[in-house]
Structure 1
Amino acid sequence: MNTTLKYYGSAILWALFILIICAVPLHDADKSGMFFPGFDKLVHCGLFFVLSVLYCVGSIRKWNTHNIRIEIAMKNTVVLISYGALIEVLQMRVFTWRSGDWNDLLADTIGACMGIFAVLLTSNAIHHEKS
C-alpha cells in the first residue's frame, strides 16, 4: 500500500476530487448564465486529462523508466475509462440527484487519451533531446 501511495498518491487524491465533484448536487447551476452549452463535457475532459497525466507520471516513476511503454499506456487507458464508467454508473444509481450521461464518459475517455498522448509525446521528446 505504501508503494502505491508513493507513486500514485497524487493521482489517487485527484481521483477522489473528481468523485466528490461528480457527487455534489448542482441543482440549477447548469442553467445559470455563467456556463455555456457543453461546459460540463469540457470539465469532464479536463479533469480526466489531469488524472491521466498524474497516473502516467506515477507509472513512469513506479517502473523507473524515462518514458511510458505502450503496454502501460494501454493499461492506464483501461483503468481510466473504467473509472469514468464507474462514476457515471454511480451517478445513475447512487447519486440520484445527478444524471449519468454516456456523453460524459466519452468526454472522460477523450480527456484520458489526450493526457496519455501528451505524456507519451513529452516523455519521448525529453528522452530524444537527452540522447
Structure 2
Amino acid sequence: MKLTLKYYGPAILWALFVLILCAIPINIKEGSGIFFVGFDKLVHCIMFFVLSVLYCAGSIRKWNTRNIRIEIAMKNTIVLLSYGALIELLQSKVFTWRSGDFNDLLADLIGTCMGIFAVQVTGAALNSVK
C-alpha cells in the first residue's frame, strides 16, 4: 500500500476529487448545461484527462522509464474506464439526485485516451532530445 501511494498518490487524490464532484447534487434542467449544452461532458473529459496524466505519471515513476509501454497504456485505459463506469453506476443507483449517462462514460474514455496520448507524445519528445 505504501508503494502504491508513493507512485500513484496524486492520481488517487484526484480520483477522490472526481468522485466527490460527481456525487454533488446540481440543480439544472435535463438537456441543458450550466454554461452551455454539453458542459457536463466537457467537464468529464477534462477530469479524466487530468486523471489519466497523473495515473500515467505514476506508472512512469513506478517502472522508472521516460515513457509508458503500450501494454501499460492499455492497462491504464482499462483501469480508468472501469473507474468511469463505476462513477456512472454510482450516479444511477446510489447518488439518485444525479443521472448515470453513457455519454458521460464516453467523455471519460475520450479524456483518458487524450491523456495517454499526451503522455506518449511528451515522452517521445523528451526521448528525442539529446
The size of the alignment, in residue pairs, is 130
Structure 1 segments unaligned to the other structure (5+ residues): none
Aligned partner of 1:7 in structure 2 is 7
**Deviation per residue, 1:84-129 (Å, 9 max, x gap):** 0000000011000000000000000000000000000101110111
Aligned partner of 2:83 in structure 1 is 83
Residues 88-127 of structure 1 correspond to what in structure 2 (within 5 A)? 88-127=88-127
Q: 1:82 to 1:69 in 2, by over 3 A?
A: same
Q: 1:98 to 1:67 in 2, by over 3 A?
A: same
Q: 1:83 to 1:32 in 2, by over 3 A?
A: closer
- Which 4+ residue blocks in structure 1 deviate beyond 4 angstroms? 29-34
Partners of 2:19 and 2:33 lie apart in 1 by 25
State the identity %. Answer: 74
Partners of 1:43 and 1:59 lie apart in 2 by 24
Q: 1:38 to 1:32 in 2, by over 3 A?
A: closer
CA RMSD across the alignment: 1.6
Structure 2 segments unaligned to the other structure (5+ residues): none
| 1:38 partner letter | G
Q: 1:13 to 1:29 in 2, by over 3 A?
A: farther
With 26-35 and 103-112 compared, the bigger mean Cα shift is at 26-35
| 1:129 partner letter | V
Q: What's the TM-score once normalised by structure 1's chain length?
A: 0.94
Q: What's the TM-score once normalised by structure 2's chain length?
A: 0.95
Partners of 1:33 and 1:48 lie apart in 2 by 19
Partners of 2:77 and 2:54 lie apart in 1 by 13
Aligned partner of 1:62 in structure 2 is 62
With 59-68 and 27-36 compared, the bigger mean Cα shift is at 27-36
**Deviation per residue, 1:57-105 (Å, 9 max, x gap):** 0000000011111110000000000000000000011000000000000
With 21-30 and 115-124 compared, the bigger mean Cα shift is at 21-30
Q: Does 1:42 align with 2:39?
A: no
